[in-house]
Amino acid sequence: MAEAHSAVAFSFSVTPEGLDVKLNHEALKAVWRSGFRSAKKRVGRMQNQFKNGTYPATPTSWLFIATIVLALKIGGFDPSFGLIESQDKYVAAVFTNQSPAIIHYISCVLYATYLWFAKIIIIKWSLRVLLRYHKWMYEARGPMSLKTKIWIMTVKILGGRKPLLMSYQFSLPKLFVPSVKETVNKYLRSVKPLMEDEKYQRMEKLSKEFQEGAGKKFNRYLVLKSWWATNYVSDWWEDYVYLSGRSPIMVNSNFYAIDAVLLHPSKVQVARASNIIHAMLQYRRDLDKESLMPLMLNKTVPLCSAQYERQFQTTRIPGIEKDTIVHYKDSQHIAVYHKGRYFKVYIHFRGRLLKPCEIEHSLQKILDDDVEPAVGEKHLAALTAGDRVPWAKARQEYFSKGKNKASLDAIEKAAFVVALDDEPQDFDEHDPSKLDKFARSMLHGKGYDRWFDKSFTLVVASNGRIGFNAEHSWADAPIMAHLWEFSLSEEFQMGADAPIMGHMWEVCTADDRDYGYTDDGHTIGTPEICPNPIKLEWEFPKPCLQVIENCLEVATQLLNDVDLHLLYHNQYGKGFMKSVKMSPDAYIQLSLQLAYYRTAKKFDLTYESSMTRLFREGRTETVRSCTVESCQFAKAMDDPTVTNKERIKFMKLAAEEHQQGYRNAMSGHGIDRHLFCLYVVSKYLGEDSPFLTEVLSSPWRLSTSQTPHQQTNKLDLVKHPEHISAGGGFGPVADDGYGVSYIIAGEDVIFFHVSCKNSCPTTGARKFAEQIQKALADVKNMFEAKDS
């Protein structure tokens, strides 16, 4: 294409008169601006590293200490007790031409700097010690204990003001290693309601042998690793759970999210895409500057922010034995897929980020371009959807040089991928199948129209509906939920009198954010520049085409086996749950247990994802939601001899047990990550453990997760409950089980994403969703008729 030729900075030719050099000044300017931008970002990163390293101290506090030291010295008092005088001779050796007075002042300033750094170290270590205190989570609702009040006040005093995103990283405690006895005892209690007496007694015997034998040795290795590593779990979790799997990551690992379905701001595909792309790039800029506030529990306790570092410019590279994650420091383009073709679209021009209206014009050029895809290009992304080994071999063989390498680099080094679909998606309260279709499109699409290896792919339907598909190894769902909430909230700048549907849109022009839509649905503003998209070029030999088609066949079989249903539950929400003094999460989890018991006629291991980001580089831990108490409650609900008053008592006990399990998981006293790491140690040592083998081979037939929201200060669900996304979901974990993700959307709505496999004769997504709805209705009726 012409724009590719004009990108050459210079050319030359040899003539009889000599060497004729022709310079392209615009290209040279672009090279200069790119280098300047990279240098500017490097300086910014260095500044942030210094600020984070010295936080919560500030240059002002250093100046204050230096002033006090100098004032005391001038007043005749030596705050250093002789240290300043003792270092005068060393300072004089460096500043040989200075007077004794100047040398003495320099020594005073150096001493003040020592004090400043000592203050920083003391505060950081004090915060690290204080943040190991987790008993505040275990206190019953009501008046706080005096100890917790003092703790909160101390953390707030030492925690400083206006932190950057990474300011607390050095103050977060390390994840500790629990005792084997503690973990094994909790495990045994969690499986007791799931096993017959004979099998349980066998597990007791195996656990006792493990505790008295290899368990102690394995744990010593973990303790040693916890002293050396930042987090004794996270690197192994990433390597062995995510990157070492050789099966497809589509459906099995990647997750998705969908639009705020109660709103439809524009039906113009490229306009909606442009505003969301711009919002995401604004978020990226805030991320680079670390101007995003770190998340704080109860506005006091910081969460680890390490996972944000790889959100953009990140891709998963396939390997023969294990994949790797590659993160690039910067990218000035996005990759766009439309009707089987890939394009490189620049998002920066002449040192600034393109405005939404300028991005729209670039994307419109792609829609208007009728060039046919290269042979094999349409289904190319099926390589990322199939088994990992064929993709790894094909990448080495066919993408290591020439056009294919350059084009693959353009995708992998892009900030993110955008898929402009040629089909519409929508929400209709009276036609649930539309929402199911929407969710399936985000989870797997057609198996070849999402780049599943990329950190995330933004998907924009032909009618402007949006969603994303995210790779899981680099981070967990709350990180993407944060970006999604930010992007939607930036776009939804509504007038106060706007109705839920068909509203007018307010223009947001803070900084360079020009969001909004014209009456015909296009972005606002007048484009000043409009870089041409560059179509990526490919050249696939027949063996490569065959690998692509083989991967597509695997992906098609996998996605056809997915049964996915999205339940819009608007009968009631967390408002009622709180009115009966129940934790909404515990309420929903117990309702899921009831629904599963009624569907499967038994209880099974249940996985609920919890976070361990109270610790440095923490990721997730498992809450085992199926407990002795939850089983008693579920059985009581279908026992006509049990009164509602007794059922409520069972539910309250089960809810408290669930909350206790959640607190344990968050505070480092969980079960499964510790057992997983003990298992990894056993494999490294070549010592098989029958106990650990049996524990880790047990399937999670009910895997659940709550999608977090209100991670920014932009989402006001009281004024605008319709602004919340309908959440997202994931594929089933077990062949004969269910995956259930839910988001509590304001006070009165809950979205459930239910998945299972069509090939399993005993499961059905819609069937299970109906049981969830019935369980929620029965629990509500129980509370309303509690006297019976």
Q: List, for residues 67-107, the tens digit of each pLDDT value.
A: 999 898 888 888 888 888 888 888 888 888 888 888 888 88
The predicted model gives 475-487 an average pLDDT of 95
Question: Tens digits of per-residue pLDDT, 608-617?
Answer: 999 999 999 9
- Strands (DSSP E) found in 165-215: none
Instruction: Quote the mean pLDDT of the chain.
Output: 90
Q: Lowest mean pLDDT: which of 13-17, 174-178, 763-767?
A: 13-17
Q: Calculate helix-pair angle for 690-697, 197-212, nearest 10 degrees.
A: 130
Pick the catalytic residue: 278, 472, 669, 709? Answer: 472
Minimum mean pLDDT among 74-83, 184-193, 699-708, 767-776: which range? 74-83
Residue 732 above 80 pLDDT? yes
Separation CA 453–CA 475 (nearest Å) = 13
d(CA 248, CA 771): 30
Provide the pLDDT for residue 7. Answer: 42
Dihedral sign for Cα atoms in the order 237, 238, 244, 250 = positive
CA dist list (Å): 744 to 86, 200, 293, 488, 570: 65, 37, 23, 17, 10
Check residues 650 and 77 and name the one with the higher pLDDT: 650
pLDDT score, position 96: 80
Q: Over the stretch 584-612, which tens digit does the pLDDT of each residue have? A: 999 999 999 999 999 999 999 999 999 99
For residue 9, the model assigns a pLDDT of 47
The pLDDT of residue 143? 80
Specify the higher pLDDT residue, 28 or 265: 265
pLDDT in tens, 410-424: 999 999 999 999 999
pLDDT digits (tens, 9 = 90+) for 279-296: 999 999 999 999 999 999
pLDDT band at residue 498 using 50, 70 and 90 as cut-offs: very low
Select the more confidently predicted residue: 514 or 687.
687
Alpha-carbon distances of 619 from 165, 475, 679, rounded to whole Å: 17, 8, 18
Question: Is 38's pLDDT higher than 90?
Answer: no
H or E segment to which residue 591 belongs:
helix 584-600
User: What does the pLDDT read at residue 4?
Assistant: 40
Q: How confident is the model at residue 495 (pLDDT cuts 50, 70, 90)?
A: very low
Which distant-in-sequence residues (6+ apart) come within 8 Å of 3 by Cβ? 531, 532, 534
Between CA 224 and CA 217 the distance in angstroms is 11
Q: What number of other Cβ atoms are within 10 A of residue 292's Cβ?
A: 19
For 122-173, how does the pLDDT look when each residue is reduced to its tens digit (9 = 90+)? 999 999 999 999 999 988 676 888 999 999 999 999 988 889 999 999 999 9
Q: At 772, is the pLDDT very low, low, confident or very high (cuts 50, 70, 90)?
A: very high
**Mean predicted confidence (pLDDT) in 725-733:** 93
pLDDT band at 215 (very low <50, low <70, confident <90, very high): very high
Percent of the chain with pLDDT over 90: 76
Say what the pLDDT of residue 668 is: 95
pLDDT digits (tens, 9 = 90+) for 323-362: 999 999 999 999 999 999 999 999 988 788 999 999 999 9
pLDDT for 50-69, tens place per residue? Answer: 888 888 888 889 999 999 99
Average pLDDT over residues 177-197: 95
Quickly state the pLDDT bin for 22 (edges 50, 70, 90).
low
Total count of residues recorded for the chain? 788
**How large is the average pLDDT for residues 372-401?**
96
* Helix pair 765-784, 644-666: axis angle to 10 deg: 120
Q: Is 472 a catalytic residue?
A: yes
Model pLDDT for residues 427-476, shown as the tens digit of each residue: 998 899 999 999 999 999 999 999 999 999 999 999 999 999 999 999 99
Query: What is the longest distance spanned by two Cα atoms in the chain?
Result: 106
pLDDT at 522: 93
CA 370/CA 484 separation, integer angstroms: 32
